């Protein structure tokens, strides 16, 4: 394979590697994953807000529950004392008085408990609704992450194979041509050579001047000139 043919093959190989790398970094699944994660962040914010609103109400409800339970137990004990024999009239009167006070406080605590519960229920419904909306999105995110990992693994294998082929092609160039090509590649990326199409370098997309185009067209077979703009080796 002569130098121009070897350069064409190497240029195509490098451009193909660049395309596959771009495909790896711009998978449609990545865009979809970003959308799903954005939606999940919004749901998380809504969940945190709902939970923050519910927390003080929940604490008030739990406190009222605890007070109600304690007062109810005390009321039962006092009622049992009234039913027991052996107490004096004065003792029974004191027990009765305390029982009335406890029952009054119990009624207030139960009212507080019920009020807190009625306030808490819609907040818990909101929390449950947000979680219900988030669950399928969480599952979808996991599926997308798995699909992306599999696709990238496949593309990584393809890139590795392409790079092996690319190195074989590069070694097929003579030392001087390879040095020129690799130097241009390091400067501009993608490939160290480009094709002239309709009077333009298809690497930098800039038209050659009439003088440069005439010089390019008159090159002897096997001779390669550089693009005056980007420095890539120009090929037919």
Q: What Rg, from alpha-carbon coordinates, does the chain have? A: 40
Interatomic CA distance for residues 204 and 201, integer angstroms = 6
Same domain, 72 and 146: yes
Number of domains in the chain: 2
Domain final position from 173, 193, 227:
173
Q: Which domain holds residue 142?
A: 3-173
Q: Which pLDDT tens digit goes with each residue over 105-122? A: 999 999 999 999 999 999
Domain final position from 173, 190, 220:
173
Can you spell out the DSSP letters for the chain?
Answer: --HHHHHHHHHHHHHHHHHHHHHHHT-HHHHHHHHHHHHHHHHHHHHHHHHHHHHHHHHHHHHHHHHHHHHHHHHHHHHHHHHSSS--HHHHHHHHHHHHHHHHHHHHHHHHHHHHHHHHHHHHHHHHHHHHHHHHHHHHHHHHHHHHHHHHHHHHHHHHHHHHHHHHHHHTS-HHHHHHHHHHHHHHSS-SEEEEETTEETTT-PBPPHHHHHHHHTPPTT--PBPTTT-PEEE-
Same domain, 42 and 114: yes
Q: Which pLDDT tens digit goes with each residue over 191-202? A: 999 999 999 999
For residue 235, report the phi and psi dihedrals to the nearest 5 degrees.
-130, 155
- pLDDT exceeding 70 applies to what percent of the chain? 98
Residue 92 is predicted with a pLDDT of: 84
Contacts with 42 (C-beta within 8 Å, 6 or more apart), sequence order: none
Q: Which pLDDT tens digit goes with each residue over 124-142? A: 999 999 999 999 999 999 9
Same domain, 112 and 220: no
**Residue 194 pairs with which residues in a beta bridge?**
234
Same domain, 13 and 80: yes
Residue 1 predicted with pLDDT over 80: no
Same domain, 141 and 188: no
Domain final position from 173, 191, 206:
173
Q: At what angle do helices 3-25 and 89-171 cross, to 10 degrees?
A: 170
Q: Which of 86-100, 150-164, 180-194 has the lowest mean pLDDT?
A: 86-100
Same domain, 33 and 76: yes
Same domain, 186 and 149: no
What's the CA dihedral at 70, 72, 76, 78 to 10 degrees? 70
Q: Which of 5-14, 85-94, 112-121, 125-134 has the lowest mean pLDDT?
A: 85-94
Compute the C-alpha angle 122/126/132, nearest 5°. Answer: 140
Residue 86 predicted with pLDDT over 80: no
CATH number reported for the structural domain that contains residue 45 in this entry: 1.10.287.1490
């Amino acid at each position: 394979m002569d130098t121009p043919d070897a350069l064409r093959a190497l240029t195509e190989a490098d451009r193909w590697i660049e395309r596959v790398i771009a495909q790896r970094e711009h998978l449609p699944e990545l865009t979809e994953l970003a959308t799903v994660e954005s939606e999940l962040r919004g749901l998380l914010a809504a969940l945190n807000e709902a939970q923050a609103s519910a927390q003080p109400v929940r604490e008030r409800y739990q406190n009222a529950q605890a007070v109600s339970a304690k007062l109810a137990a005390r009321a039962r004990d006092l009622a049992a004392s009234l039913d027991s024999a052996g107490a004096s009239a004065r003792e029974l009167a004191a027990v009765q008085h305390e029982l009335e006070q406890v029952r009054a406080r119990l009624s207030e605590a139960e009212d507080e408990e019920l009020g807190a519960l009625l306030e808490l229920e819609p907040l818990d419904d909101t929390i449950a609704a947000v979680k219900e909306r988030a669950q399928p999105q969480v599952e979808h995110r996991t599926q997308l992450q798995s699909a992306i990992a599999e696709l990238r693994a496949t593309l990584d294998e393809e890139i590795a194979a392409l790079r092996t082929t690319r190195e074989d092609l590069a070694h097929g160039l003579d030392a001087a041509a390879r040095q020129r090509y690799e130097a241009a590649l390091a400067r501009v990326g993608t490939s160290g050579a480009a094709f002239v199409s309709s009077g333009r370098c298809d690497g930098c997309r800039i038209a050659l001047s009439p003088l440069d185009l005439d010089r390019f067209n008159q090159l002897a077979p096997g001779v390669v000139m550089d693009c005056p703009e980007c420095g890539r080796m120009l090929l037919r």
